[in-house]
A and B are shown apart, each in its own frame.
Chain A
Amino acid sequence: MSATYLAAASVEEAVNALKGGARCVAGGTDIVVGHRQGKKPLPASIVAIHGIDALRGIAAAGAGLRLGALATHEEIESHAVVRERFTGLADASAIVGSRATRANGTIGGNVMNASPAMDTGAPLICLGATAVFQGPGGTRSIAVEDLFAGPGQTVASADELLIAVDLPAPALGTGSAYVRLEYRRQMEIAIVGVGAAVTIEGGKVTAARVAITALAPTIHRVVAAEAALVGTDGGRDAAAAAAAAAAAGSAPISDVRGSADYRRAMAAVMARRAIETAVARALGGQVSIPASTSTFAAV
């Protein structure tokens, strides 16, 4: 079978193609690799969006940041503002695949592929990110925490193109982190991952978000873990209690990368590391990026 192909020059052209049943490709690190692996054939109709300049770049948007859908992991992990204020996202983008994956793979593709094990989802949710779509009827925004509907599925319609991911300015005193359990440091997929964002004012945690990865059909927040942090000093006991709550909120499966029991047992460990790192950063401490590597070395 020979697939049809269109290189879209504009968002409108791409949305039109999606409306006609095409699927989009940018860096190709999921859709083309999946085809080569024999997991999934290439779609019968493809619209390439890699040439649409309007989707490129990382720019200030109000007090926050807008990541164009074509922003690559390499651009994200090396961006000074991301590293300083959205550190958990830098932790995640810095450990996706290999250097070639990060040079070609985009935030838009990573989000819309909607893998329950993908690295950027948990920090995006913890940082309150919003996915911005363009469809035939106009634009709409969906909070990333409401976007994932199941493994490989989102609530967006097939004719909506993700054009950007917006990150609101974090409150003063916020630190964030993403930590994953990995068998190797590169070319790895999370066995368990946890994202955390913690805001500390006057020695007390005033806001917290905790999201878990590869522990359920979708990446999602664990409200009980967040509640266990708010009002505390964010210290060791609070982090341990929140980590236990995060593990209790998991519903893992067994697969080639780990058993459900192992994932459940490691969920609390990864959650504690993510929360302690976010707290340390909220208090002005320097924990090097990616946190997965630095916290593993420290424990």
Chain B
Amino acid sequence: MKHPITLNVNGTPYSVDVATAQSLLYAVRDQLGLTGSKEGCDDSECGACMMLVDGRPTNSCSYLAVQADGAEITTVEGLGEGDELSPLQQVFLEEGGVQCGFCTPGMLIAATALLQANPSPTAEEIRIGVSGNLCRCTGYDGIVRAVLRVSREGASV
């Protein structure tokens, strides 16, 4: 059974047909061609696929695309402006919040969700905020530093 749905991704509406079991992640990657969001575990353990769905941080690998019909979705591609990085992305680079880069799209989305809910988080609150996002390279310290810095600098995320 295919369902015609509209996904509003990074401000652009897309009409696609999806099967009931199609994940939001693969609708966005395969049908829309936006491959920034990654598949790590495919069952909500790692956060590499994280998107904002109506503002909620959501593991898109385990979210039915058909349930996102009409929702406003933000992926990592929606954070910067064209080739220009967002302030959060820039400090991730400068503070060593990125190594291999595989967790980065989800980590940036989780950090964005955190800063939208809590513009001045403590280091502890940042660790809780990205607790659903696994990084096997950085040891997380660079990520925590980056989020602390962008919040202290008061830049819009």
Interface residues of A in 87-138 (CB under 8 A from B): 97-101, 103-104
Which residues does chain B contribute within 8 Å of A100, judged by CB atoms?
A: 44, 47, 50, 56-59, 110, 132
Q: Does the CB pair A187–B1 fall under 8 Å?
A: no
Chain B interface category by residue count: 20 to 34
Which residues does chain B contribute within 8 Å of A98, judged by CB atoms?
A: 47, 131-133
Q: Does the CB pair B131–A187 fall under 8 Å?
A: yes
Q: When A2-B20, A3-B20, A101-B132 are in contact, do A28 and B62 touch as well, CB less than 8 Å?
A: yes
State A50–B69 Cα separation when bound (angstroms): 11
Interface residues of A in 179-195 (CB under 8 A from B): 185-187
Partner of B128 from the list A4, A28, A186 (CB cut-off 8 Å) is A186
State A101–B61 Cα separation when bound (angstroms): 13
Q: Please name the residue on chain A nearest to B113 by beta carbon.
A: A99
Tell me, yes or no, whether B64 is within 8 Å of chain A by CB.
yes
Q: Does the CB pair A185–B58 fall under 8 Å?
A: no
Tell me if B's interface is mostly helix, strand, loop or mixed: mixed
Scoring A32, A35, A37, A186 by chain B CB atoms within 10 A of each residue's CB, the highest score goes to: A32
State A98–B120 Cα separation when bound (angstroms): 20
Q: Does the CB pair B20–A36 fall under 8 Å?
A: no
State A32–B53 Cα separation when bound (angstroms): 16
Q: Does the CB pair B47–A42 fall under 8 Å?
A: no
Which residues does chain B contribute within 8 Å of A48, judged by CB atoms?
A: 64, 66-67
Q: Does the CB pair B128–A29 fall under 8 Å?
A: no
Q: Does the CB pair B63–A103 fall under 8 Å?
A: no
State A48–B20 Cα separation when bound (angstroms): 11
Scoring A36, A50, A186 by chain B CB atoms within 10 A of each residue's CB, the highest score goes to: A36
Q: Which 8 residue pairs spanning A and B have beta carbons closest together?
A: A98-B132, A186-B131, A3-B20, A36-B43, A103-B56, A5-B20, A37-B43, A100-B57
